[in-house]
Amino acid sequence: MSADATPVVLRLDVPGGPVRVEVFDTRPGVADRLRDLWAHLLITQDDPRPDLATVEVPARGEEDRTATGAVAYTLSGDVTREILSALLGRRVLLHSGVVRHPRLGTVLLIGPSGAGKSTATSRLAREGRYVSDELAILDPDTFEIEAYAKPVSRVVREEGWEKHDLALADLDLRLADEIGAPSQVVLLSRRRDRNAPPRPGRPGSAALGGRPLPEDLPEEDTVRRVPLVQALPRIIEQSSSAWRVPDPLGTLCRLLQSVGGALEVVYSESEHLSRLLEQAPAPLVEEVELVDGQSAEDLPPLAAGPAEGERLLHICPFTQALFVEDALLVLARGKVSTVTGLGAALWSLLQESGPATEDQLDARLVAQIGAHPRSREFVDSAVADLLAAGLVRSGLTGR
C-alpha cells in the first residue's frame, strides 16, 4: 500500500475478538458492499477490546474486473482464518453449516466442499434461523455453539461459477437469538445424478432402524445413523484442528452420543432436507474404549530384534485411540486411521505389552484366541498393513 493511502475501516464483532478490516479497494461500491454484507456484525460504537487481527482488502486498479462478490468471498476467508488461529485448541472447530430449526433444534451440517453445505444451510435457515454456513464453534465441555454469522458463500453461475459472498437479507435469512448445543449432527452427501439408481433399502426402513419415509420424496434420498467408526473420520476430515483439543476422540464421541449418533443424509434437493431429518432413525448406542495417547518420549526407544535379521515392532506415537466394536481408530499427526480385525488386536498387544517380534506377536495371539494353521501368515499380513499405515514401525528397518 502507498504510504498516503487511507483505507475505509470496518470492525467486525466475531468469535475470538474484533477483527479490523482495512479496505484499500477504492473502486465504486466495493467498501459500501462489504459494509452491507457484514452489517449485522459491524461494531459501530467505541469498543475498548483490542483487535484480534487486521485484515486488508488490497487496492485494485479501475480496470480490474474482479467482482465485488469475489472480493467479499476472499475477505470472509481471511477473517475465518484469523478466528481459527485464535480459537485453535480451545474450541471444537468444524467445517460446518449451523442452523437453528423450529422442529429439528440446532443442526450441524457437515460436508466437504461441493456437498451443497451453503445451499442446504440457507434452505433450512429460511425455515428457522441462521448461525453460520462455514464454521461451527463448539465449547468442548458443554458443546454450546458460538455464532459466526458470516455472509453466505455461494457459487454464482453468472460470474463464471466463482464463489461470491451474499448478504443475509438477500437470502431472506434471520439471525438466531438462541443456539445452544446441537440436536443433530448431519453428514451431507448430495446426489447430483437424479437418474442414478437408488441405494439398496428404502431409507427409514426396518433395515436402517427408522420409519418409512413419505412416498413423495425421491426414491434415492436416504437418511441413516452412521456408526462411530465411519462418522468420526468424516468429521475429523472437516476440521484442521480437532486433534488440538484435549481428549479429541473422547470429545467427538461425547458430542455424537449426545445427539444419538451422526446422521448421513443423501439427498437430491435441499428442499427435502427438513422432511428427511424429521424421519431420523432411533438413536444409535455404542460402547467405546478410549486409549490415552503416547508421545515419542513415552515409548521405548527404537531397537532391533533380539536375533540377527529379526525386527522388533513398536507402535508409533499417537494422540489418542478408540476401540468400538471390533474396530480401532488411531488419531496421529492430525489424521485418523481405521484398523479392523487382526490389525486392531495386534496394535492393542503392542500398545499394552510393548515392542515385540512377529514370532512373539503370533505366540501372544495364539495364547489369547487359540491356534490356527495359518496364524503366522495372517500376522505377517496384518503387520504389513500397520507398517504401511504408519501406525507401527520396525527397529530393524528404521521405519
Question: CATH number of the domain that 341 lies in?
Answer: 3.90.930.60
Identify which has the larger pLDDT, 141 or 216. Answer: 141
* pLDDT band per the 50, 70, 90 thresholds, residue 214: low
Query: Contact, 25 vs 5, CB < 8 A?
Result: no
Same domain, 61 and 172: no
Which grid coordinates are listed for 327? 474396530
Q: Strand, coil or helix: what is 353?
A: helix
254, 286, 318: which is the final residue of a domain?
286
* pLDDT band per the 50, 70, 90 thresholds, residue 193: low
CATH number assigned to the domain comprising residue 185:
3.40.50
Q: Strand, coil or helix: what is 350?
A: helix
Question: 228-267 pLDDT, tens per residue?
Answer: 999 999 999 999 788 899 999 999 999 999 999 999 999 9
Q: Is residue 31 part of a domain?
A: yes
Q: How would you class 111 by CB atoms within 10 Å of its CB: exposed for 0-12, middle for 13-18, buried for 19 or more?
A: buried
How far is residue 152's CA from residue 162's CA, in Å, rounded to a whole number? 13
Q: Residue 191: pLDDT above 60?
A: yes
Same domain, 234 and 116: yes
Task: Give mean pLDDT, residues 341-345.
Answer: 94
Query: Contact, 107 vs 92, CB < 8 A?
Result: no
How far is residue 182's CA from residue 136's CA, in Å, rounded to a whole number? 10
Same domain, 259 and 296: no
Q: 2 - beta bridge partners?
A: none
Residue 309, pLDDT score = 63
Residue 203, pLDDT score = 42
How far is residue 233's CA from residue 77's CA, in Å, rounded to a whole number? 24
Question: 290-318 pLDDT, tens per residue?
Answer: 999 999 888 888 766 566 667 899 999 99
Q: Residue 396: pLDDT above 80?
A: no
Q: Residue 64: pLDDT above 90?
A: no
Q: Residue 368: pLDDT above 90?
A: no
Same domain, 294 and 243: no
Q: Residue 179: pLDDT above 80?
A: yes
Q: Which domain holds residue 231?
A: 88-286
Which grid coordinates are listed for 374? 495359518
